[in-house]
Amino acid sequence: MLDIKRIREKTEEVRQGLRDRDADPALVDKVLEFDARRREILTVSEELKGRRNTVSKQIGQLRKAGEDTAEIQASMRKLGDEIAALDAQLAEIECNQNTLLLSLPNLPAPGVVPGGKEMNAVVSVFGEKPSFAGFPPKNHVDLCTALGLIDYERGVKMGGNGFWLYQGDGARLEWALLNYFVEEHLKDGYTFMLPPHLLNYECGMAAGQFPKFEEDVYRLTEEGFHFLLPTAETALVNLHRGEILDEAMLPRRLFAYTPCYRREAGAYRASERGMIRGHQFNKIEMFAYTRPEESEAMLQELIRKACKLVEGLGLHYRLSKLAAGDCSASMATTYDIELWLPSMNEYKECSSVSNAMDYQARRGNIRFRRAETQKLEFVHTLNGSGLATSRLMPAIVEQFQLPYGGVAIPEVLRKYMGGQATLEPGASPTSRNTP
């Protein structure tokens, strides 16, 4: 959430930040209206409480002197009723102000351009688009089906649209990708986490997904509000919710493996069939807690790590910096790694690396004590996919397909595949098998 002091003191800057990401700047005025009224009532309430404390002492002294205090006590009861009414007003105003503050998105970081997706900028490109001389390339759905890697039909039969079933070499390749990512993150000294898949409402609030995006998660309603995590970020940002960290712990580098569960809003495009968009997929998530002055360096570290993983697979991709309006609500800046999908003739994101700065930490009340000053400060939080697999599999089979219908396995994955170098037609069961 945004700092109310920043909203008070740099009001126009906050308004402009909201405009840059296509949010309503008028919300700032509503927040300030509540804030002014809150402070006004708080001042009156504190004055009355001070008067009550003073008179209460006087009553004690008068009683000791044997004087009648009935009239004064009656006036104090009346004063108490006034204070209670003011406190009730204050609680209501603070609730309304907090609701508005929770609805405001993060402000863009310096250097993030205004506007939406059309203003995203390509920062770098790795490799070249594959060429397929002498044979017509296939799309990943046909390739995965012919090679018996994915059973789309039975996936839909079991889970409905947006689900698929890995099988045979497809399941092994998926697991090889995850092993590759885990091994690389461990080499870099990141701590491996396996968080719960069911989270409580407070987790969604701290991450910045609730209350606005409650409908995007799979909610379980039998016992309170629990939901299936949409990404491990939602869990990891809550690891230290409500805590004060020792500065010596920072920066804290983590990564987690989880399936991710998402209710994708809207209709799928015909071109996004197969594994491009789904309700469940596997992902390794990187996460970091840092001091404010370290967060930009950590952002660059996470970007380099995600890029290195894709480059290790030998895939052609581009790195893009998102415009303010294309960043998610909690993030001040985001970079996307986008894989080339030949059959779609476009790039598809497989990793987003973002800096939330102190936005999530304020929502989750995550602070550290500065050793030099003993002052409490909010940490900065950062996250990045390292990596999500659901678009890597399509990119691998499409970019590395061979003229006869096989697919070359990236070299870094072969040790996890028992030394296997290619995916061969007929090597795995196919979705056309009949019981």
CATH of 4-103, one of 3.30.70.20, 3.40.50.2300, 1.10.800.10, 1.10.287.40: 1.10.287.40
pLDDT for position 265 = 46
pLDDT for position 10 = 96
Q: Does residue 176 contact residue 166 with C-beta atoms inside 8 Å?
A: no
Q: Which residue has the tokens 């719960």?
A: 196
Domain segments of the chain: what residues? 4-103, 117-423
- Average pLDDT for consecutive 10-residue bins of the chain (435 residues)? 95 96 94 95 92 84 81 85 92 94 96 96 97 92 95 94 94 98 98 97 95 89 86 98 97 98 62 71 97 98 98 98 97 98 95 98 97 96 96 96 96 97 79 41
What pTM did the predictor assign?
0.91
CA neighbor of 241 nearest in space, from 208, 200, 294, 203: 203
Q: Which residue has the tokens 């940002």?
A: 237
Taking each helix axis from N to C end, the angle separating 392-399 and 168-187, rounded to the nearest 10 degrees, works out to 110
pLDDT for position 434 = 39
* Phi, psi (rounded to 5 degrees) for 209: -85, -30
Classify domain 117-423 at the CATH class level.
Answer: alpha beta
Q: Which residue has the tokens 């790039």?
A: 347
User: Residue 221 is encoded by which pair of tokens?
Assistant: 């309603």
Q: Does residue 309 contact residue 184 with C-beta atoms inside 8 Å?
A: yes
pLDDT for position 431 = 43
188 phi-psi bin (left φ>0, alpha ψ -120 to 50, beta other) = alpha
Q: Does residue 374 contact residue 121 with C-beta atoms inside 8 Å?
A: no
